[in-house]
Structure 1
Amino acid sequence: MIPELGHFALVLSLGLSLLLSVLPLSGSFNGRALWMSTAPSLATGSFVFVALAFVCLSYSFAIDDFSVAYVASNSNSLLPWYYKLSAVWGGHEGSLLLWVLILTVWTWAVALKSAHMPIEMRARVLAVMGMVAVGFLSFTLFTSNPFDRLLPGAPVEGSDLNPLLQDFGLIIHPPMLYMGYVGFSVSFAFAIATLISGRLDSAWARWSRPWTNLAWAFLTVGIALGSWWAYYELGWGGWWFWDPVENASFMPWLAGTALMHSLAVTEKRGVFKSWTLLLAIFTFSLSLLGTFLVRSGVLTSVHAFATDPERGLFILAFLLLVVGGSLTLYALRVPAVRSSVSFLGFSREWFLLSNNVLLVVVLFTVLLGTLYPLIADALGWGKLSVGPPYFNRFFIPLMGILCVLLAVGPLTQYKRTPAAKLLSNLRWPFVGALLLGVVTPLAADGPYLWQASVAVFIASWIVFAAVQDLRTKLRHRASWREGLSKLPLSFFCMHLAHLGMAVTLIGVSFVSLFNEARDVRLSPGKSLDVAGYHFELVEMRKLRGPNYLADEGLVVVTYGGEEVAVLLPQKRRYFSGGNLMTEAGIDAGLFRDVFVALGEPLDNGDWAVRVQVKPFVRWIWLGALFMGIAGLLTVWDKRYRFVTRKAAISAEAQEVPVAAP
């Protein structure tokens, strides 16, 4: 009965979403305030019923209701309770339900926080989000229903959750990633609502900016969590492999980063209006493209859900409808947009435009490398693969230039920055960064690596320039405390995000350049030395878990004769299906990780063992955390909070109508 209740709740939510996509939008065209005022209630109702469906599915997992096909395919009575609950989104149908739940959460949040927006704009934004919900609810109900029954003949036991997913990462990574993915639907809805209204001013940028920052923050942390999860769970010790599904989440991040910076210029100076609208459309379209790649079965990846191609066709049709419809509307409205605002070289507008151009070039480089093998296969050109060498060849130099601009941009002013003033502000950060970049690699063992020197120079250039910017802002204040209190929160968030980029840059560079790894054959009592660390495999022992048997190694790690870690790498065999999984033993530190993973058992009691010392690897995720926190905190800046009554009135007064086509 509970699964049927969940199914009925989804049907009701689809009905409410249909009303949300039609009634308020119709009211906005014919001036019916009553119709437009229904939007928040319809959004709330849609959220409540999807949440009820999600609770029903979670309950089915909790009680081991294997008459539900999705539960039988992704759970087992031996599975620990916390993995049973996270298994709700461990497969195709449940993860899609999570997507829909998060979409309705965002829609409900917009309904709650937009009370002081012009009623027409509010109705149109919520109606567009209702249309997106209709698409995904239809996809869920008609092709991917998580409540389908196996009756009669329900199995006594389930097939178990994929062992790769039986990890803490499953609990936090997909919800965080989806919050970012789906969050860009809000920016998309604001852009489409603006195009529908025909009033293409910069007011929408102020309204959508906090939502964009919030979605970007979630996506940043979600991508970092996925990298961290792959690092310790897959057993190979890598943090990024340019996997097509990894790229599917990275491309919306690149577009979203460009959108954030473009929104800032549109809001402040009223320029880049049409470009910002286009970025909002592309960012959400790339989120939909990622959904298609993951769920269509066209990709083979540890991250992908290999499903019925009919489902992929549904999403592809929905993607084409969204992208095609949006771009058609954009083409009809945007030619009437004109900007009377000008700016000169060495202005903040110029640097932000350069930032956008570089990000878009990087984006299309990644997009081409991701889609080209699929296109070649579809056209019969043979099976091709595009690996890390291609991506690194273009990505590294372009992102290096982008990071240089990160340091210069904040020191510029809008409209025009005198060259002498800019050079004066950049002088000591440049000299300090150059000296640090030259000296730092000398501290490392082995040959001098110019790549490390460049990485340190760029990262410290970003940090020193931020310090110089702060000094400049406080120069004419009576005291530094007074000066700090006068600076907006967004100023600190900007530099915190840039600092996060610098920290990630150091982590990526140092772990790539100085990582030391050995693949060896070890037996109990044998040892080896790697990067000054002494690893001894003391013993191998058997261990029984709740739903697996494991061979566990006891590895003692010493440095300079002192014990620094005891690692317990495992090789697990799961009862259901007999799957073998590697659980690495990791001693984490701020400046290095010591990593040991068991390979295959060999003859005479020996084991294949992979040993690694990975310097600064944690800085990759620490920098991403800084960026995520910065994006989150901008929402609380008083200038960028969700729309206030005063801001709404001001924005409405500034609107410039555009003639309908």
Structure 2
Amino acid sequence: AGLRARVLAVQASIGVAFLLFIIITSNPFTRLNPAPADGQGLNPLLQDPGLAFHPPFLYAGYVGFSMAFSFAVAALIEGRVDAAWARWVRPWTLTAWMLLTIGIALGSWWAYYELGWGGWWFWDPVENASLMPWLSGTALLHSAIVVEKRGALRTWTVLLAILTFGLSLVGTFLVRSGVLTSVHAFAVDPERGVFILLILCLFIGGALMLYAWRAPTLKAGGLFAPISREGGIIFNNLILVTACATVFVGTLYPLALEAVTGEKISVGAPFFNATFVPLFIPLLIALPLGPFLAWKRGDLLAAMQRMIVPLGLVVIAIIGVYVVQDGGSVIVPLAIGLAVWLIIGPMAETAYRIKFLRASASETWRRAVNLPRSSWGMMVAHMGVGVTVLGIVAISAWRVEQIIVMEPGGSTQIAGVTLTFNGASQSRGPNYNEDVGRFTVTEKSGRKFTMEASKRVYDRPPMPTTETGIHYYPGGDLYLALGDRHKNKDGAYTVRIYFNPLAPWIWFGCLFMFFGGAISLTDRRYRVGAPKKAKVKSGKMGVQAA
């Protein structure tokens, strides 16, 4: 009861702080006198159904991590972090992680089809702002398992809970303060930024001071060998936190430098690709092996022996891709092999636990039914990582791109299809003028179909946007974006044409992660305090025992 009361008190104080933020800096009841005849209008880029879902999911993820923060502060006040505390924290953390995962995926998908640049991630500072709490939240999700199972990593898990919510507040600050120029940053009032910064300093600064004071009083957990399930999770945490720190520095360093010296620099994709990706590769390689390791002391050689079949399939995939691409660099085949390893590895671990092909069908079925739902959820979520990696590798390595000026009747070939520009027509929408380009796609088989892509100019605010045309094939997307009208050629337009192999797999993988988390949430162990089903026994007189 004491822990619950403290958690609710911390959560209520956070709610009060943000209620004051709304009333003081963004009071919805403030009167405008004189009232404007018409508003400025929503940013045209945001006038899309995808934006009806992307921000609420991100918001829900941020709010969910505030619960983990409240539990951490309450535990520090009470001086007790144990298995019961971890069982309380894990469902909240998992729910927040799921919502943030799907929110980031929806934002990436929206940027892909709405912005017309054919990519899925730009390392935009506000994109990074949502990625950072996701990375630290993933670390928190795994470290809480160690607290529950072994009673270890207590102080570290509490610190992760504080930092994850702190990064959520940093993301809120970047979006609402106006320090960034981005399609995601929709406020330019410094007063809001100062208020959020005060909230950040008050709650996170106060929590860190409390942590420095009370953390040494928390009891240490049990000992374990470096090669163990606990050791694997520590490795997981180190990589995730280091990657998060890399993104944090790359995102905020330009802002800090400009504030101190006035010098403006840009930190973009080359920096993050050169630092973030190499950090993540060891984690991805180790991911399928972790569940094979025992608690306290594991056997890495035995774990590798159980992965012989997946390793064989990975080798076949690497050789197959290398042969199909007709030699060249081995980086792409190795990356595809890594994705296959991530997809098959979790399946192999589950197959081992249910004795698939090593016991009778009835025994395998019994084990599968009795396997905790959290184990099934872990398998699905980890497979989702592999599916996403496969999509990322394919679109990065095999993407085909053309940027050309097309006149009516002109044709071009890309990825085995012929694209013919039929011309463009002007139309009027509810609040915009639109040039709609029509294209005929002819496949090798002779099948034809029509695609459309358009360029819009909104009335208020006056701003051009691109409405892409996308045709989904099983192996990738044919992607069209209509550019500006050519000044010297009548009826000609600049057209960007892409073929993005396996692009949807990026978001399918995120759905796998989301549903994996949802499956895990149905596990009874996540419902703390749920009464166990009593076994009913019959007495001598046939009366059921109470």
Per the normalisation by structure 1, the TM-score is: 0.77
- What is residue 347 of structure 2 aligned with on the other side? 467
Worse-superposed segment, 626-635 or 569-578: 569-578
Change (3 A) 1:165 1:381: closer
Match for residue 146 of structure 1 among 28, 36, 39: 28
User: Which secondary structure state, in structure 2, belongs to the residue aligned with residue 300 of structure 1?
Assistant: coil
- What is residue 7 of structure 1 aligned with on the other side? none
Change (3 A) 1:186 1:395: same
Match for residue 523 of structure 1 among 396, 403, 407: 407
Shift of 1:539: 2.2
- What is residue 549 of structure 1 aligned with on the other side? 433
Q: Distance in 1 between matches of 2:221 and 2:89?
A: 23
Q: Distance in 2 between matches of 1:525 and 1:416?
A: 69
- What is residue 327 of structure 1 aligned with on the other side? 208
Letter in 2 for 1:616: L
- What is residue 27 of structure 1 aligned with on the other side? none
Letter in 2 for 1:140: I
Change (3 A) 1:440 1:611: same
User: Is 2:73 the counterpart of 1:192?
Assistant: yes
Cα pair 1:407 1:465 within 8 Å, conserved: yes
User: Which secondary structure state, in structure 1, belongs to the residue aligned with residue 498 of structure 2?
Assistant: strand
Cα pair 2:82 2:148 within 8 Å, conserved: no
- What is residue 472 of structure 2 aligned with on the other side? 588
- What is residue 283 of structure 1 aligned with on the other side? 164
Q: Distance in 2 between matches of 1:564 and 1:408?
A: 47
Worse-superposed segment, 132-141 or 555-564: 555-564
Q: Distance in 2 between matches of 1:562 and 1:128?
A: 66
Letter in 2 for 1:495: M
Change (3 A) 1:136 1:565: farther
Shift of 1:477: 5.6
Q: Which deviations, in whole Å up to 9, do the C-alpha atoms of 1:240-276 show, x marking residues without a partner?
A: 0100000000000000000000011111111000000
Letter in 2 for 1:195: L
Match for residue 85 of structure 2 among 204, 208, 216: 204
Gaps of 5+ in 2: 534-546
Shift of 1:409: 0.4
User: Is 2:242 the counterpart of 1:373?
Assistant: no
Worse-superposed segment, 612-621 or 579-588: 579-588
Q: Which deviations, in whole Å up to 9, do the C-alpha atoms of 1:90-138 show, x marking residues without a partner?
A: xxxxxxxxxxxxxxxxxxxxxxxxxxxxx22211111111111111111
Q: CA RMSD in A?
A: 1.7
Q: Distance in 1 between matches of 2:414 and 2:327?
A: 17
Change (3 A) 1:447 1:539: farther
Match for residue 274 of structure 1 among 149, 152, 155: 155
User: Is 2:9 the counterpart of 1:127?
Assistant: yes
Identity of aligned residues (%): 46
- What is residue 620 of structure 1 aligned with on the other side? 506
- What is residue 538 of structure 2 aligned with on the other side? none
User: Is 2:189 the counterpart of 1:303?
Assistant: no
Letter in 1 for 2:5: A
Cα pair 1:294 1:304 within 8 Å, conserved: yes
Letter in 2 for 1:414: W
**TM alignment of 1:29-40, pairs within 5 A:** none
Cα pair 2:289 2:304 within 8 Å, conserved: no
- What is residue 386 of structure 2 aligned with on the other side? 502
Change (3 A) 1:415 1:612: same
Shift of 1:147: 2.8
Q: Distance in 1 between matches of 2:439 and 2:77?
A: 64
> Where do 4+ consecutive residues of structure 1 move more than 6 Å?
none
Letter in 1 for 2:185: A
Cα pair 2:80 2:218 within 8 Å, conserved: no
Q: Distance in 1 between matches of 2:105 and 2:511?
A: 8
**TM alignment of 1:83-232, pairs within 5 A:** 119-151=1-33, 153-232=34-113
Q: Which deviations, in whole Å up to 9, do the C-alpha atoms of 1:594-626 show, x marking residues without a partner?
A: 111111111322111101100011010000111
Change (3 A) 1:415 1:307: same
Change (3 A) 1:419 1:574: closer
Shift of 1:374: 0.8
Letter in 1 for 2:339: A
Q: Which deviations, in whole Å up to 9, do the C-alpha atoms of 1:116-171 show, x marking residues without a partner?
A: xxx222111111111111111111100111232223x2222222211111101111
Q: Distance in 2 between matches of 1:149 and 1:590?
A: 54
Letter in 1 for 2:82: D
Q: Which deviations, in whole Å up to 9, do the C-alpha atoms of 1:282-326 show, x marking residues without a partner?
A: 000000000111111111111112421122111111101111100
Letter in 2 for 1:122: R
Letter in 2 for 1:573: V
Count of paired positions: 527
- What is residue 451 of structure 1 aligned with on the other side? 331
Letter in 2 for 1:620: I
Cα pair 2:79 2:218 within 8 Å, conserved: no
Letter in 2 for 1:466: P
Worse-superposed segment, 396-405 or 279-288: 396-405
Q: Distance in 2 between matches of 1:230 and 1:590?
A: 21
Q: Which deviations, in whole Å up to 9, do the C-alpha atoms of 1:485-535 show, x marking residues without a partner?
A: 110001111111110000000101110111111110011111111121211
Cα pair 2:421 2:437 within 8 Å, conserved: yes
Shift of 1:228: 0.5
User: Which secondary structure state, in structure 1, belongs to the residue aligned with residue 307 of structure 2?
Assistant: helix
User: Which secondary structure state, in structure 2, belongs to the residue aligned with residue 639 of structure 1?
Assistant: helix
Cα pair 1:589 1:618 within 8 Å, conserved: no
Q: Distance in 1 between matches of 2:139 and 2:337?
A: 24
